Amino acid sequence: MRDTGIMTTATPPRLPRATDGARLGTALTRRAAIDAATQAYLRGEAVDMSALAAHLGIGRSTLYRLVGNRDDLLAVVLAEATERTFRRAAAGATAEGGIDRVLDVINRFMHAVIDAGPLQTLCQHEPLLFIRLALLPGPVEQTAAGLIAEMLHAEITAGRLETSLPATTLSQAIVRMCDAHLYAPLLGGTEPETDTALDLVAALLSHLNRSANNLTTR
């Protein structure tokens, strides 16, 4: 079965009933809107704010108050899908630790993204929207950087990786480095350049690992 990757979930959120909007509190109504938008996205459908408001049984103005504009809502949908995909990649990684594990997880994540059917649909229909949401500072980039920082911190704490840079700084560099090559087709390239991205991450981590070791031995 093809992994639909970034924009899929092992347990799809329940599609809320139209009456939910009237009965749920603000936080749960926001959750219902995000879940409904996620379902539409996973079906390869455009997220239409008017249709979504009608489905939830609330007005457009209420929907906008709950989730912001369409870009804001889709950013949350993509950010949550990014976390699901990354954690699945991490769970499936077989490398024992250190640089090898980091590369294994990132490799699995990038290939899940490439195989993601809903993501391919979005990029085909609204490429500029995806570039704006995924490649510029915002929830998607912040989520990816936070997850990588979490992974780096775990490896550092376990003594399997050393770095002369903070995990948060390093994770941001890795995200931008990988995004530029993973989404190369959207930026004028022909194919995703995952091998190049992995080579660059490996070189960066190896260099920082050596630098940290040199500092501790002086």
pLDDT of residue 212: 64
How far, in Å, CA of 109 to CA of 107, rounded? 5
pLDDT of residue 1: 37
pLDDT of residue 165: 92
How far, in Å, CA of 174 to CA of 163, rounded? 13
pLDDT of residue 26: 73
Are 17 and 39 spatial neighbours (Cβ–Cβ below 8 Å)? no
pLDDT in tens, the chain (218 residues): 344 445 454 444 444 444 444 444 677 799 999 999 999 999 999 999 999 999 999 999 999 999 999 999 999 999 999 999 999 999 999 999 999 999 999 999 999 999 999 999 999 999 999 999 999 999 999 999 999 999 999 999 999 999 989 999 999 999 999 999 999 999 998 899 999 999 999 999 999 887 666 555 55
- Please give the distance of CA 88 from its chain centroid, rounded to a whole number: 12
pLDDT of residue 9: 44
pLDDT of residue 15: 41
Are 67 and 73 spatial neighbours (Cβ–Cβ below 8 Å)? yes
Of 179, 84, 75, 69, residue with least CA distance to 135: 179
pLDDT of residue 209: 80
* Element of type H or E holding 72: helix 70-92
Are 185 and 119 spatial neighbours (Cβ–Cβ below 8 Å)? no
How far, in Å, CA of 165 to CA of 149, rounded? 11
